[in-house]
A and B are shown apart, each in its own frame.
Chain A
Amino acid sequence: MSTLNFKLRQAPVATVDLSALIPAKLAGLSTGDIEELPLGALKVADLFDVSGTLGDAIVISGGSPLLDYVGAGLDGGSITVEGPVGAYAGRGMRSGRLDIRGDAGAYLASNARGGIIHVTGSAGSFAGGARPGDKFGMLGGTVVVEGDVGERAGERMRRGTIIARGKFGAAAGSRMVGGTLWTETGFGPRPGPLLRRGTLIGPKVDDMLPTFADCGRVDPVVLRILSRSVAQTLGALAPKALPIIVHKFAGDQATIGKGEILLTG
Chain B
Amino acid sequence: MSGKTINGIAIDDTFAEAFGMSALGLVITADSLKWAMISAQVMTGFGTSVIGCGAECGIDRALSPDETPDGRPGVRVLMFGFSPDSLVPQLRNRVGQCVLTSPGSACYNGLDSPTTLGLAAGPRFFGDGWQTAKKLGDRRFWRVPTMDGEFVIEDKCGLTTDAVGGGNLLILGRDRAGLLEATEAAVEAINKLDDVITPFPGGIVRSGSKVGSKYKGAVASTNDAFCPTLKGAVATECSPDTIAVLEIVIDGLTSKSVAEAMRVGLKALIDVGAAKGVTRVSAGNYGGKLGQHHYHLKDLLP
Bound-state Cα–Cα, A140 to B140, Å: 12
A25 CB–B CB distance under 8 Å: no
Given A228-B69, A228-B70: A221 touches B152 (CB 8 Å cut-off)? yes
A197 nearest CB neighbor, chain B only: B132
Task: Please indicate the chain A residues that have their CB under 8 angstroms from the CB of B69 in the complex.
Answer: 225, 228-229
- Which chain A residues have a beta carbon within 8 Å of chain B's beta carbons? 140, 159, 161, 178, 180, 197, 199, 218-222, 224-230, 233, 258
Count B interface residues, CB 8 Å. Answer: 18
B263 CB–A CB distance under 8 Å: no
Main secondary structure of the interface of A (DSSP, over half): mixed
Whether the pair B134, A180 counts as a contact (CB closer than 8 A) is: yes
Q: Mark B23-52, 1 if CB is under 8 A from A, else 0.
A: 000000000000000000000000000000
Task: Please indicate the chain B residues that have their CB under 8 angstroms from the CB of A218 in the complex.
Answer: 149-150
Partner of B134, one of A219, A222, A228, A233: A222
Whether the pair B137, A229 counts as a contact (CB closer than 8 A) is: yes
Whether the pair B135, A140 counts as a contact (CB closer than 8 A) is: yes
Given A228-B69, A228-B70, A228-B71: A222 touches B150 (CB 8 Å cut-off)? yes
B141 CB–A CB distance under 8 Å: yes
| Known contacts A226-B134, A229-B69; 20 further A-B pairs (Cβ under 8 A) | A178-B133, A180-B134, A197-B132, A199-B134, A220-B150, A221-B70, A221-B72, A221-B150, A221-B152, A224-B72, A225-B69, A225-B70, A225-B134, A225-B136, A225-B141, A226-B136, A227-B71, A229-B137, A229-B139, A258-B132
Task: Please indicate the chain A residues that have their CB under 8 angstroms from the CB of B143 in the complex.
Answer: 220, 222
Task: Please indicate the chain B residues that have their CB under 8 angstroms from the CB of A230 in the complex.
Answer: 136
Task: Please indicate the chain B residues that have their CB under 8 angstroms from the CB of A229 in the complex.
Answer: 69, 136-137, 139
Bound-state Cα–Cα, A224 to B70, Å: 5
Task: Please indicate the chain B residues that have their CB under 8 angstroms from the CB of A180 in the complex.
Answer: 134
Q: Which of B115-140 contact A (CB under 8 A)?
A: 130, 132-137, 139
B262 CB–A CB distance under 8 Å: no
Task: Please indicate the chain B residues that have their CB under 8 angstroms from the CB of A219 in the complex.
Answer: 149
Task: Please indicate the chain A residues that have their CB under 8 angstroms from the CB of B152 in the complex.
Answer: 221-222, 225
Bound-state Cα–Cα, A258 to B152, Å: 16
B248 CB–A CB distance under 8 Å: no
B106 CB–A CB distance under 8 Å: yes
Given A221-B106, A222-B141: A178 touches B135 (CB 8 Å cut-off)? yes
Task: Please indicate the chain B residues that have their CB under 8 angstroms from the CB of A197 in the complex.
Answer: 132
Minimum Cβ distance to chain B for residue A122 (Å): 25
Bound-state Cα–Cα, A140 to B106, Å: 24
Minimum Cβ distance to chain B for residue A125 (Å): 25
Which 6 pairs across A and B sit closest by C-beta, in order of nearness? A229-B136, A224-B70, A220-B150, A221-B152, A225-B70, A159-B135
A229 nearest CB neighbor, chain B only: B136
The 7 sampled A-B contact pairs (Cβ below 8 Å) are A159-B135, A197-B132, A218-B150, A219-B149, A220-B150, A221-B106, A225-B141
Task: Please indicate the chain A residues that have their CB under 8 angstroms from the CB of B136 in the complex.
Answer: 161, 225-226, 229-230
Task: Please indicate the chain A residues that have their CB under 8 angstroms from the CB of B149 in the complex.
Answer: 218-221
Q: Mark B61-101, 1 if CB is under 8 A from A, else 0.
A: 00000000111100000000000000000000000000000
Minimum Cβ distance to chain B for residue A131 (Å): 22
Bound-state Cα–Cα, A258 to B130, Å: 7
Task: Please indicate the chain A residues that have their CB under 8 angstroms from the CB of B72 in the complex.
Answer: 221, 224
Task: Please indicate the chain B residues that have their CB under 8 angstroms from the CB of A159 in the complex.
Answer: 135
Bound-state Cα–Cα, A228 to B139, Å: 13
Minimum Cβ distance to chain A for residue B85 (Å): 30
Minimum Cβ distance to chain A for residue B125 (Å): 15
B148 nearest CB neighbor, chain A only: A219
Bound-state Cα–Cα, A151 to B92, Å: 44
Task: Please indicate the chain B residues that have their CB under 8 angstroms from the CB of A224 in the complex.
Answer: 70-72
Bound-state Cα–Cα, A64 to B182, Å: 76
